[in-house]
Structure 1
Amino acid sequence: MVNSEQERVGQRIKRLEQELTAAKHAALRPFKINVPQYGVLYELSRQSGLSGAALARRCMVTPQTMSSVLSNLEGRGLVERTPHPIHLQILEVRLTAAGKTLIREADVVVEEIEQLLDASFAPGGAGPFLEQLERCEKAVAAWSPKTTS
Structure 2
Amino acid sequence: MSQGGVDLNTSLGYLLKEASSVLRTAMEEVLRPLGMNVTHYSCLELLAQRPGLSNSELARGAFVTRQTMNVLLQALERDGYVTRPTEAPVGKALPARLTPRGRRSLEKATAAVRSVEVRMLSGMTEAEQAAAFRSLRSMIDSLREDPEEPA
If the TM-score is normalised by the length of the shorter chain, which range does it land in?
0.7 to 0.9
Aligned residue for 2:29? 26
| Aligned residues between the structures | 143
Q: Is this contact kept in 2: 1:79–1:96, CA < 8 A?
A: yes
**Same amino acid, percent of matched pairs:** 27
Structure 2: gaps of 5 or more residues: none
Aligned residue for 1:47? 50
Aligned residue among 118, 137, 151 for 1:134: 137
Aligned residue for 1:64? 67
Cα distance, 1:80 vs structure 2: 1.1
> Do the aligned partners of residues 84 and 107 (structure 1) sit closer, same or farther apart at CA in structure 2, a change above 3 Å counting?
same
The normalised TM-score by structure 1 is 0.82
- 1:98-146 alpha-carbon deviations (Å, 9 max, x no partner): 11110011111111111223333234142222222233224444698xx
Aligned residue among 100, 103, 109 for 1:100: 103
Q: Distance in 1 between matches of 2:8 and 2:97?
A: 50
Q: Distance in 1 between matches of 2:101 and 2:19?
A: 32
Structure 1 range deviating more: 120-129 or 106-115: 120-129
SS in 2 for 1:90: coil
- Letter matched to residue 54 of structure 2: S
- Structure 1 vs Structure 2 CA RMSD: 2.4
- 1:18-73 alpha-carbon deviations (Å, 9 max, x no partner): 11101110100111111000000011111211111111121122211211211121
Q: Determine if the alignment matches structure 1 residue 36 to structure 2 residue 31.
A: no
Structure 1: gaps of 5 or more residues: 145-149
Aligned residue for 1:90? 93
More strand by proportion, 1 or 2? 1
Q: Is this contact kept in 1: 2:8–2:14, CA < 8 A?
A: no
Q: Distance in 1 between matches of 2:53 and 2:19?
A: 29
Q: Distance in 1 between matches of 2:74 and 2:8?
A: 46
Q: Distance in 1 between matches of 2:23 and 2:146?
A: 26
